[in-house]
């Protein structure tokens, strides 16, 4: 076999009879081919060695599986979307999806992505699955970095669909992690969304307890006052007493007229006169008791009801107590209705993230691409070997005192020394 450095080409005449040398590129290609053929054994051994090494490396790299979940875009009529929209619009009005993207404003979907990428959600997953032990990390910060590297959460700008991709060495755990992201998102949005409705319900419950105590107290005071003074409704009671007094007054006038006639006919000692006189006295006594004439200020004379003289004074207190009881009762009824509505509203505002694709246990690994690693590693090693042969052959053609050769050897020596 001819040495590549002493390859000679025949000088052949061309069509015009002039003898010319082969082109420079053809000469270089022939030299390269001869060089490769000359060292084919070494290159073959290098290729086989690289194939074995990269095959071992490819199979030593741990497998990694990917579970994917997809979420529907937030419904703009949903309270959860309204809450997220309010959060994104705090710095200004949202003037449309296109304008929002152009101006850098966040959409509800982008807010969901931000919540999923938050430190709080990551710490929940780290604690739930003990990822510090799984990732061989002692600190939460390092475990978060690994989880962030193995998780991809993105929103499709056109459709609004949110994709959650989680990679893990265990296919079962990758699916559970993707599911945990969704569950944690549900819990956190439910907490943020229903906080206003829950605060309103709790406020109404506290007010109901206060108003109920006031209602019970005012009702009890009214009952005690009515029982102590035999007063129920002064207006109705006064009207009834006036009617009764008018009746007694009429009966008294009739009895006095009858007594006067009997006295003129029979005299004062007659039994009929005495009977009529007794009836007149009884009617006068009843009318006096009803009107309150001659009663002491300490009581009502043992009557079962207040007199007409006492009734106006008792009416002020009675109506004041009755008004307080009525106000408390009205407020209690209104608050009860609002409380029931608040409970319904709180239940309606509990959001739920709509899952388009549930995360399932992956059947195929996503990493490593072993065949690609083996092929690319072997080819790169082969190319490196060929490049080394070409470089060495080029250096061998240089004179020992050539500056280029001196520079190359110095660089190589420095690289070896510092490496």
What residues contact 270, with CB distance under 8 A and at least 6 apart? 262
Cis preceding linkage at 368, omega within 30: yes
Let me know: does 295 contact 313? Beta carbons within 8 Å: no
**For position 22, what pLDDT does the model report?**
52
CATH 3.30.1890 maps onto the chain at 65-194+353-357
Among 74, 75, 106, which residue's Cα sits nearest to residue 90?
Answer: 106
Distance CA 295, CA 96 (A): 84
Q: What's the confidence (pLDDT) of residue 299? A: 47
CATH class as words, domain 65-194+353-357: alpha beta
- Cα–Cα distances (Å) from 253 to 75, 136, 287, 291, 325, in that order, read 86, 112, 12, 16, 43
The pLDDT value recorded for residue 93 is 43
Question: What's the pLDDT score for residue 64?
Answer: 93
pLDDT at 130: 95
What CA–CA distance (Å, rounded) separates 409 from 390? 16
Radius of gyration of the chain measured on its C-alpha atoms: 53
At 380 the pLDDT is 95
pLDDT of residue 89: 46
Q: Render each residue's pLDDT in the chain as its tens digit; 419 residues.
A: 444 444 444 444 545 444 445 556 777 778 778 888 888 899 999 999 999 999 999 999 999 999 999 998 766 544 444 445 544 444 444 444 444 444 344 567 888 899 899 999 999 999 999 999 999 999 999 999 999 999 999 999 888 899 999 999 999 999 999 999 999 998 887 776 666 677 888 888 999 999 899 888 888 887 777 766 666 655 555 555 566 666 767 777 787 777 777 777 777 777 787 787 888 788 777 766 665 554 444 444 445 455 555 556 666 676 677 778 888 888 889 989 989 888 887 776 665 678 999 999 999 999 889 999 999 999 999 999 988 888 887 777 766 666 766 666 666 555 445 55
Query: How far is residue 276's CA from residue 255's CA, in Å, rounded to a whole number?
Result: 7
pTM for this predicted structure: 0.52
pLDDT of res. 102: 41
- Cβ-based neighbours of 103, under 8 Å, separated by 6 or more: 95
Predicted pLDDT of residue 246: 66
- Which pLDDT score, from 0 to 100, does residue 57 have? 93
Tell the residue number behind the tokens 């009755």, with chain if given.
322
Report which secondary-structure segment, H or E, holds 166: strand 162-168
pLDDT at 313 (0 to 100): 60
């Amino acid at each position: 076999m001819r040495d590549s450095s002493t390859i000679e080409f025949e000088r052949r005449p061309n069509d015009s009879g002039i003898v010319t040398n082969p082109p420079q590129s053809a000469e270089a290609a022939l030299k390269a081919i001869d060089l490769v053929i000359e060292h084919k054994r070494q290159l073959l051994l290098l290729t086989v060695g690289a194939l074995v090494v990269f095959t071992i490396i490819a199979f030593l790299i741990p497998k990694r599986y990917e579970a994917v979940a997809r979420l529907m875009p937030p419904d703009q009529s949903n309270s959860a979307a309204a809450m997220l929209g309010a959060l994104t619009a705090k710095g200004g009005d949202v003037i449309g999806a296109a304008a929002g993207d152009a101006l850098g404003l966040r959409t509800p979907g982008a807010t969901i992505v931000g919540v999923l990428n938050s430190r709080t959600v990551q710490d929940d997953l780290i604690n739930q699955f003990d990822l510090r032990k799984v990732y061989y990390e002692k600190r939460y910060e390092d475990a978060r970095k690994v989880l962030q590297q193995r998780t991809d959460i993105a929103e499709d700008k056109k459709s609004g669909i949110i994709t959650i991709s989680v990679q893990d060495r265990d296919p079962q755990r990758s699916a559970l992690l993707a599911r945990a992201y969704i569950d944690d998102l549900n819990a956190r949005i439910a907490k943020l969304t229903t906080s206003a409705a829950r605060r309103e319900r709790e406020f109404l419950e506290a007010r109901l307890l206060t108003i109920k105590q006031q209602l019970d107290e005012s009702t009890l005071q009214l009952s005690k006052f009515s029982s102590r003074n035999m007063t129920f409704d002064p207006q109705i009671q006064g009207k009834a007493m006036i009617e009764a007094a008018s009746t007694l007054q009429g009966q008294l006038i009739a009895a006095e007229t009858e007594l006067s006639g009997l006295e003129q006919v029979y005299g004062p000692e007659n039994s009929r006169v005495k009977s009529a006189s007794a009836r007149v006295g009884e009617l006068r006594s009843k009318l006096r008791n009803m009107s309150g004439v001659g009663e002491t200020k300490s009581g009502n004379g043992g009557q079962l009801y207040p007199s007409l003289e006492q009734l106006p004074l008792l009416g002020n207190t009675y109506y004041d107590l009755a008004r307080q009881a009525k106000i408390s009762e009205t407020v209690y009824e209104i608050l009860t209705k609002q409380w029931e509505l608040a409970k319904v509203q709180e239940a309606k505002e509990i959001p739920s993230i709509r899952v388009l694709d549930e995360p399932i246990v992956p059947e195929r690994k996503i990493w490593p691409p072993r065949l690609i690693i083996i092929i690319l590693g072997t080819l790169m090693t082969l190319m490196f070997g060929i490049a080394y042969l070409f470089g060495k052959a080029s250096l061998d053609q240089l004179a020992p005192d050539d500056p280029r050769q001196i520079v190359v050897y110095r660089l190589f020596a420095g690289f070896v020394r510092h490496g």
